Amino acid sequence: MRKPLSRILCALAFLAFALTAIAQNRQDPKQRVEALEQQVQKNLQERKPELAIPLLREIVSIDPDNLNAHGNLGVLLFFQGNYSEAIPQMRSAVRAKPDLWRIEALLGIAEKRTGDPSAAQDDLERAFAKLEDKNIAKEAGLELVELDSSFGQFAKASSVTEKLEELLPEDPQILFVAYEISVQMMDQSRLNMLLVAPDSAEMHMIMGGELGRQGDHANAIAQYREAIKLNPMLPGVHFELAEQLRASPDPAMNAQAESEYNAAVKVNQYDEKAWCGLGDSVAEAGDFKAAEEDYQKALALQPRDADAQTGLAIALTTMNQMSEAVPLLESAVKNDPTNIVAHYRLSVLYRRAGRIADAQHEMSEYAHYKELKDKMSQVFKQFRVQRDQK
């Protein structure tokens, strides 16, 4: 009996469908990967990473050596917060091509956030030195600083913050982290000294410096004097004592500063700061010619010292040598734009010379930086009050 035509057509249609399915199943894996990659690109261009992820999973299942698929899948999983699944994908990519610095940086961050600090530190250290993108470098650097600090490796952390400051010198977050690291390094150094040599001249010098920063000049002076008793040749100790004597509210103490500056330059004739301080001290006593000589010695050692340039300019102005003072002050404000004394003195000399616009500009700079310094002084004063109240 002949079969109805309709049944024959249905059978042929089914057979055609089955053959098509078999052909698809036997599709060349390379062609399948290429098709998936095209779809991935389309999804990423349309900002639909959630659609690209399963396609990338399929690609790596078909082609386990596909570097791009591993890398892209790891990155997409990372930015979804799926660090545990992102790590093996990014690690595969980095092992296949070790110079994928951005991916290795993300790998280190993911390892840190999943509780593998040692691996994270290794990956972040390798990647951070090679990163060129400032945003990625910032994120990787800040994570690395946290790791280095947690291991007590403050010198390493400091070197990272130095590079971050070079990349982003006006970023408040980086400046704050750099400040914190410097404080931690100081704390660690004080503790080490306390454990190793609690009664040494160096320990007294550290204590004097801390007291001086807190504004306790009287006790700072006592600590520096004790350090000198133990070691009068200790580098820097006479200069630091002289600085505290000059900062003291007691005129009798101020009068003793000059002798300590002299002691400092006798111990070390290359102590540029001590020569500058000696110039300040003798200028305050009215001996501007001697001050000129001391400032010149300081500038011979450090030609860009804005304080020495300003001090010398003031001494020359007092001796009616204004034409020589102007270039010194111009150089001083260039070397240190925050030097309010230099701005003020330069404004006065410009006005005397009839350079009214330049004088007004320098006075404006003076007012701007003076306001900033006054605000900073108030902040530090509040810190001291809060500390004393604890």
Give SS3 for 357.
helix
For the chain, what is the mean pLDDT? 90
Token pair for 93? 């990519």
The string of pLDDT tens digits covering residues 28-85 is: 788 888 889 898 889 888 889 899 999 999 998 999 999 899 999 999 999 999 999 9
What local confidence, expressed as pLDDT, does residue 14 receive?
A: 32
| Distance of alpha carbon 112 from alpha carbon 107, whole angstroms | 9
> Dihedral (C-alpha) 218, 221, 226, 227: value to the nearest 10 degrees?
150
Classify residue 248 by burial, with Cβ atoms within 10 Å: 0-12, 13-18, 19+: middle
pLDDT: is 25 or 318 the higher one?
318
Widest pairwise Cα distance in the chain: 134
Q: Which residues of 274-290 are buried (b: 16+ CB within 10 A; e: fewer)?
A: bbbbbbbbbbeeebbeb
Q: Can you read off the two tokens belonging to residue 184?
A: 């931690």
pTM of structure = 0.71
Minimum mean pLDDT range among 12-16, 64-68, 269-273, 354-358: 12-16
Structure tokens at 80: 């979804």
Q: Which of 67-71, 118-122, 378-382 has the lowest mean pLDDT?
A: 378-382
Helix, strand, coil in percent for the chain, rounding step 5:
80, 0, 20
Instruction: Report the Cα–Cα distance between both ends of the chain, in Å, rounded.
Output: 107
Nearest to 105 by CA among 70, 142, 50: 142
Tell me the C-alpha distance between 306 and 336, whole Å.
6
pLDDT at 194 over 70: yes
Strands (E), 165-269: none
Tell the residue number behind the tokens 């902040």, with chain if given.
379
Task: Give, in order, the Cα–Cα distances in Å from 390 to each of 139, 216, 229, 283.
Answer: 35, 17, 33, 41
Percent of the chain past pLDDT 70, that is, above it, reads 90
Q: pLDDT tens for residues 128-183? A: 999 999 999 999 999 999 999 999 999 999 999 999 999 999 999 999 999 999 99
- CB atoms near residue 374 (< 10 Å): 11
Q: How many residues does this entry show for the chain?
A: 390
pLDDT at 27: 56
Average pLDDT over residues 177-196: 92
**Residue 8: pLDDT over 90:** no
Give dist(CA 86, CA 250) in Å, integer: 65
Q: Is the pLDDT of residue 200 over 60?
A: yes
Confidence band of 10 (pLDDT split at 50, 70, 90): very low
> How confident is the model at residue 22, as a pLDDT?
34
